């Protein structure tokens, strides 16, 4: 039985509302409105959430957010990733990392919460004010007007 069949079965058995599902007792997950095989995990909202893309026996975790900066580095992200591992215990879980988040993902791999960090090269994040990824940035925004 593939994961999509399992999810459809769970959708019938574990409705939270019409658009959410539980997977192996974890959830709610809701289908991403524009991305195929992608689920938004809202089980830790309003504190954190992420996207989970399922293709065969692989699960990619992306768009991981702990929304309040004051709650970062407090275990919130770790617990969310552990929830994803519990939801997909037999799948290979992988991520691509930004430079500034690589330390977090290395810890998740050491703890067995993910299996693969796919990119082993520097990848600056899209947050142009991030000093870890953009240490040479002179101005705090994309455009600088004098």
> Per-residue pLDDT tens for 86-112?
999 999 999 998 888 899 999 999 999
User: What are residue 87's DSSP bridge partners?
Assistant: none
Instruction: State the total domains in the chain.
Output: 1
Residue 54 forms part of a structural domain: yes
Distance CA 38, CA 13 (A): 20
Buried b / exposed e over 37-62, threshold 16 CB at 10 Å, is bbbbbbbbeeebbbbbbbeeeebbbe
User: Which residues form the domain of 14?
Assistant: 3-117
CATH (domain of 38): 3.40.630.30
**Cβ atoms of residues 84 and 92 within 8 Å:** no
**Cβ atoms of residues 58 and 90 within 8 Å:** no
Report whether pLDDT(8) > 50. no
Residue 132 forms part of a structural domain: no
Return the pLDDT at 134: 65
Return the pLDDT at 126: 74
Residue 146 forms part of a structural domain: no
Residue 35 forms part of a structural domain: yes
Residue 58 forms part of a structural domain: yes
């Amino acid at each position: 039985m593939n994961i999509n069949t399992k999810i459809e079965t769970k959708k019938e058995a574990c409705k939270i509302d019409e658009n959410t599902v539980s997977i192996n007792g974890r959830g709610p997950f809701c289908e991403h409105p524009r991305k195929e095989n992608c689920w938004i995990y809202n089980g830790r909202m309003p504190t954190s959430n992420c996207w989970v893309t399922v293709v065969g026996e692989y699960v990619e975790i992306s768009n991981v957010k702990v929304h309040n900066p004051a709650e970062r580095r407090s275990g919130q992200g770790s617990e969310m990733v552990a929830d994803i591992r519990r939801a997909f215990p037999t799948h290979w879980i992988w991520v691509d990392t930004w430079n500034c988040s690589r330390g977090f993902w290395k810890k998740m791999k050491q703890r067995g919460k993910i299996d693969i960090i796919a990119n082993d090269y520097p990848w600056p994040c899209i947050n142009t004010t991030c000093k870890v990824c953009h240490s040479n940035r002179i101005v705090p925004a994309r455009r600088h007007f004098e």
